[in-house]
């Protein structure tokens, strides 16, 4: 038989097998709720990549769930390392994480907050502040099930001294305020205003709304209802991106693949468990789904929703390394 014909048949067989696996996965996924795991056993191994001192990358696998994840551990005590929230300056206000890396020379990048790509240019959903410029104020309220809810959603912030923080916050004029706890919202029940008089000024250089918060004061503290993420796909099994920090001043950046035969994604509760495994005292969920992406050393690390391409996003968190002379 002609060699070219053999190769063509082989490619068709491979495509058919992959299609069958995908259809099987979607069928199993849609036949009922995927059971949440109270404990997640993941084998973490160091990822072979060229990163400077103070940055480490690990790949995690659980073949039974199944699940694939990547985590970067960044030593914030290293004087050569800095963290920034970045936003796109393109005409449509969107770039791929790899484009962000190429433009800014960041050493590692993950996707950031939620955004509305149907608008031209795209619009950030909630607070976005970069390099002391408030690009987008917080969303003060949201409608869910035909009811208006005032919100103080979780945000990742970088203080003026370069330290990182996570807080429930909102904006008033050009100022950002934080609270010890979010506004108490529940399905069918809401607050009638944002209590700015009880908030404290949050002096951040960079900040990005996302949510919900996963960990607070070293304990799992999912504020799904308070931040009004109930009755949304955010609470289900999804590809995920999260950021947190430890008492040892390490920044934890995690990406979990999902919607794939070999990686189902995780619930928010499972994501919190995974972040707690890395000793996070504070952690927050970022934009997920097809946006969940990690790039490092000028290459794509994970497979966003099973693809080898990246979705354009409006904001990212970048890790920079500048050698002090």
pLDDT tens per residue, range 100-117: 999 999 999 999 999 999
165 or 190: which leads in pLDDT = 165
Bridging pattern class, strands 81-87 and 299-300 = unpaired
The pLDDT, as a whole number, for residue 325 is 56
The whole-number average pLDDT for the span 173-187 is 96
pTM, entire model: 0.89
Q: Report whether pLDDT(183) > 80.
A: yes
Structure tokens at 131: 């390099």
Peptide bond into 66 cis (omega under 30): yes
Best CA proximity match to 213, nearest among 259, 174, 167, 261: 167
Q: Do the Cβ atoms of 315 and 124 come closer than 8 Å?
A: yes
Q: Report whether pLDDT(32) > 80.
A: no
Confidence band of 218 (pLDDT split at 50, 70, 90)? very high
The pLDDT, as a whole number, for residue 13 is 47
The whole-number average pLDDT for the span 226-253 is 96
Confidence band of 30 (pLDDT split at 50, 70, 90)? very low
**SS3 state at 102:** helix
Q: Do the Cβ atoms of 21 and 13 come closer than 8 Å?
A: no
CA distance linking residue 54 with residue 250, whole number of Å: 9
Burial of 291 (0-12, 13-18, 19+ CB in 10 A): buried
CA distance linking residue 180 with residue 161, whole number of Å: 21
Q: Report whether pLDDT(19) > 70.
A: no
Residue with tokens 């849609």: 30
Structure tokens at 80: 């050569």
The pLDDT, as a whole number, for residue 191 is 85
Per cent of the chain over pLDDT 90 is: 82
Q: Do the Cβ atoms of 294 and 255 come closer than 8 Å?
A: yes
Q: Report whether pLDDT(273) > 50.
A: yes
Helices (H), the chain: 3-30, 97-104, 268-277
**pLDDT per position as a tens digit, 276-325:** 999 999 999 999 999 999 999 999 999 998 787 899 999 999 999 998 75
The whole-number average pLDDT for the span 56-74 is 97
The pLDDT, as a whole number, for residue 8 is 45
Q: Report whether pLDDT(31) > 60.
A: no
């Amino acid at each position: 038989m002609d060699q070219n014909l053999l190769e063509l048949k082989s490619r068709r067989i491979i495509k058919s097998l992959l299609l069958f696996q995908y259809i099987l996965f979607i069928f199993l996924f849609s036949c009922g709720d995927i059971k949440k795991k109270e404990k997640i056993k993941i084998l973490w191994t160091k990822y072979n990549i060229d990163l400077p001192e103070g940055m480490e990358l690990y790949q995690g696998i659980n073949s039974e769930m199944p699940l694939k994840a990547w985590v970067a551990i960044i030593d914030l005590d290293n004087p050569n390392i800095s963290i920034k929230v970045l936003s796109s300056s393109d005409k449509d206000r969107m770039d791929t994480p790899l484009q962000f890396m190429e433009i800014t020379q960041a050493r590692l990048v993950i996707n950031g907050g939620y955004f509305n790509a149907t608008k031209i240019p795209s619009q950030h959903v909630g607070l976005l502040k970069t390099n002391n410029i408030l690009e987008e104020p917080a969303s003060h309220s949201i409608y869910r099930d035909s009811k208006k809810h005032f919100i103080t959603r979780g945000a990742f912030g970088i203080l003026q001294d370069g330290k990182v923080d996570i807080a429930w916050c909102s904006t008033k004029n050009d100022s950002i305020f934080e609270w010890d706890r979010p506004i108490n919202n529940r399905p069918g029940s809401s607050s009638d205003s944002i209590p700015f008089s009880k908030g404290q000024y949050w002096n951040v250089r960079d900040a990005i709304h996302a949510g919900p918060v996963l960990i607070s004061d070293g304990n799992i503290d999912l504020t799904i209802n308070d931040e009004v993420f109930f009755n949304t796909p955010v609470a289900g099994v999804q590809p995920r991106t999260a950021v947190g920090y430890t008492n040892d001043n390490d920044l934890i950046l995690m990406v979990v693949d999902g919607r794939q035969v070999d990686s189902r994604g995780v619930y928010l509760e499972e994501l919190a468990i995974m972040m707690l495994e890395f000793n996070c005292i504070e952690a927050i969920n970022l934009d997920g789904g097809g946006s969940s992406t990690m790039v490092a050393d000028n290459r794509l690390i994970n497979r966003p929703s099973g693809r080898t391409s990246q979705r354009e996003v409006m904001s990212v968190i970048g890790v920079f390394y500048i050698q002090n002379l």
